[in-house]
A and B are shown apart, each in its own frame.
Chain A
Amino acid sequence: AQKVTQAQTEISVVEKEDVTLDCVYETRDTTYYLFWYKQPPSGELVFLIRRNSFDEQNEISGRYSWNFQKSTSSFNFTITASQVVDSAVYFCALSDPNAGGTSYGKLTFGQGTILTVHP
């Protein structure tokens, strides 16, 4: 069975600090995708990044960066120079690649990390 663990329930930082959100996953599949979603106060889940299990290159997008390490089954997310607008709940998720053979199926989510950035 698949499992995603986000050990940090809540993180509070002051604006301009760097912050890293941890994500550890378990799966028996050799092919899978990892995701990060952001849930702002408005409630919808906003897609941030998708990472293929065969691609361990780190990725940077503006102030956001992701560190995928297959050896430790981790997919951590770092926000550099945090801003108040980054305050949200962040979810890490893992896909089930075997649904019907034609499309990726269900996502397994972590418990979410509440990030609060204070001015």
Chain B
Amino acid sequence: EAGVTQFPSHSVIEKGQTVTLRCDPISGHDNLYWYRRVMGKEIKFLLHFVKESKQDESGMPNNRFLAERTGGTYSTLKVQPAELEDSGVYFCASSPPGRSRGEQFFGPGTRLTVL
């Protein structure tokens, strides 16, 4: 079974440009999460989808970040316009429906560098 995949693995952009990150969760996983780790600090929650609905977006830093999950499959996270402080590693995770286990399966992350 394929794990969580993320694309691209690395992205280097100029300040003010737009970048779109993609996450493909494990098939059948209704829950999809976005996290971010900035400058060696803790990994911070951004938002949580259940299927195509945003369950919790309390961690989204500002309105320059837009997440979508059309059809409840893959998700995209767009940053527009990017700022220097957006640099970091963006992780996506997924988990099956229900609360029987709780652990989330993480992708390899996308390393975003804003110059």
Contact = CB atoms under 8 A, between A and B. Distances in A.
A106 B33 contact: yes
Contacts of B58: 106
B77 to A, nearest CB: 15
Interface stretch (B18-26, B80-88, B104-112): B104-112
A103 B48 CA distance: 11
B74 interface: no
B106 A50 contact: no
Which bracket fits the contact residues of B? 20 to 34
Contacts of A103: 30-31, 50, 95, 97-99
Given A33-B103, A43-B89, A110-B42, 18 more contacts: A42-B108, A47-B105, A47-B106, A50-B103, A91-B43, A95-B102, A97-B99, A102-B97, A103-B31, A103-B50, A104-B99, A104-B102, A106-B58, A107-B35, A107-B104, A109-B43, A109-B44, A112-B43
10 contacts: A44-B107, A45-B91, A45-B93, A91-B42, A95-B102, A103-B97, A106-B45, A107-B35, A109-B44, A112-B42
Interface of B: 3, 30-31, 33, 35, 40-45, 48, 50, 55-56, 58-59, 89, 91, 93, 95, 97-99, 101-109
Interface of A: 4, 33, 35, 37, 42-47, 50, 91, 93, 95, 97, 99-100, 102-112
